[in-house]
Amino acid sequence: MQQRQLGPFKVSALGLGCMNICHAYGAPVSKEQAERVLLTALDQGVTHFDTAALYGFGASEILVGQVLGQHRSQFTLASKCGMQGVDVASDGKLVRVIDGRPATIRATCEAALKRLKTDVIDLYYLHRWDKQVPIEDSVGALSDLVRAGKIQTIGLSEVSAATLRKAHAVHPITALQTEYSLWTRNPEIAVLQACRELGVAFVAFSPVARGFLCGEIDVAALDAKDIRRSMPRFAPDHYAANLKLLAPFQAIAREVGCSPAQLAIAWLLHQGQDILPIPGTAREDHLRDNLGASDVKLDAAMLAKLDALINQQTVSGNRYNEQSNREVDTEAF
């Protein structure tokens, strides 16, 4: 496995996003299957595992802690705060809440350390900027956690270049995490350049376009709780338009001699040594396929062909619905 720099940590070029094993794409897989995926990733050389308090309302952190806790010295551990499940109505039902207040960040970190069975989190992200709280206050709380030895470094997720600069002025930011793939180019507007100016690593989630670039999805058959049901690009009209991109993309993958998923991830790896994709999956076969992307070589002509085929102008629909767009701080076309 190729290695890349994630702040002070040298990690595998491809990490593992640990959302899919318990959150967002339908019913969670069994504990046994999640365990197999996590241990297979470690066995295959993955040394960057990314989870969050939000994923399964703590379930992902618990799984990572239970399964990988005894191997803690072998990998870099990233998690996130600032968006989690809260029993708002005191009826036992957790709802997703964005809360970047310092006291909440401290409490979330303490709970995460217990779930993850660790004394320190290597990279701790603010999952979403709580726009009711100055970014300087939230990052200040994270810097307090660094000084207390609870976390080693600080990350931000789904923020703009301007917010990154404000945060970085309070405490050095190690990584910025945002969706980035052939079909989501928002980071190219400004934040990717800001990361490079500040020496901030860029962690790319959803590198295979929510599964779209792996092959045709039967949207009508998606689980009722699958987050893609609320994403405009998977709505009937937009999806029908986007499907026209899939066959030529698959043809390029055949030409290169790799799977479509490998082609999508390889494109990202070729965008810069500072970019670290974290594809997520709940299946071992998909995991092994994804990791094969690190061996795929793309020349300038092939990269140009991919750029021309799938980009912000050729993809139909916004990546998020109106509510989700209001919650993020990323630049938009």
pLDDT category at 222 given cuts 50, 70, 90 is very high
Tens digits of per-residue pLDDT, 223-279? 999 999 999 999 999 999 999 999 999 999 999 999 999 999 999 999 999 999 999
Provide mean pLDDT across the span 183-190.
98
Residue 114, both tokens: 């217990």
Q: pLDDT digit string (tens) for 133-173?
A: 999 999 999 999 999 999 999 999 999 999 999 999 999 99
CA gap 54, 97 in Å, rounded: 9
Residue 302 has pLDDT above 90, yes or no: yes
Does residue 26 register a pLDDT over 90?
no
Cα–Cα dist 125/269, whole Å: 22
Torsion of CA 106, 108, 109, 112, to 10 degrees: 160
Interatomic CA distance for residues 7 and 125, integer angstroms: 13
Pinpoint the alpha helices (H) of the chain.
Answer: 31-43, 59-68, 102-116, 135-147, 161-170, 191-198, 236-256, 260-269, 284-291, 300-309, 322-327
Does CATH place domain 3-327 in 3.20.20.100? Answer: yes
For residue 92, pLDDT beyond 90? no
Contact predicate 150/142, CB 8 Å? no
Q: What is the DSSP letter of 30?
A: P
- Which is the catalytic residue, given 55, 125, 180, 320? 55
Condensed to tens digits (0 to 9), the pLDDT of residues 29-87 reads 999 999 999 999 999 999 999 999 999 999 999 999 999 999 999 999 999 999 999 98
pLDDT at 285 over 90: yes
Query: What is the chain's mean pLDDT, rounded?
Result: 97
Helix axes 300-309, 260-269, angle to 10 degrees: 110
Question: Can you give the pLDDT at residue 88?
Answer: 87
Mean per-residue pLDDT, 106-115: 98
The answer to whether residue 239 is catalytic is no
Question: Average pLDDT for residues 12-18, to the nearest whole number?
Answer: 98
Q: What does pTM read for this prediction?
A: 0.97
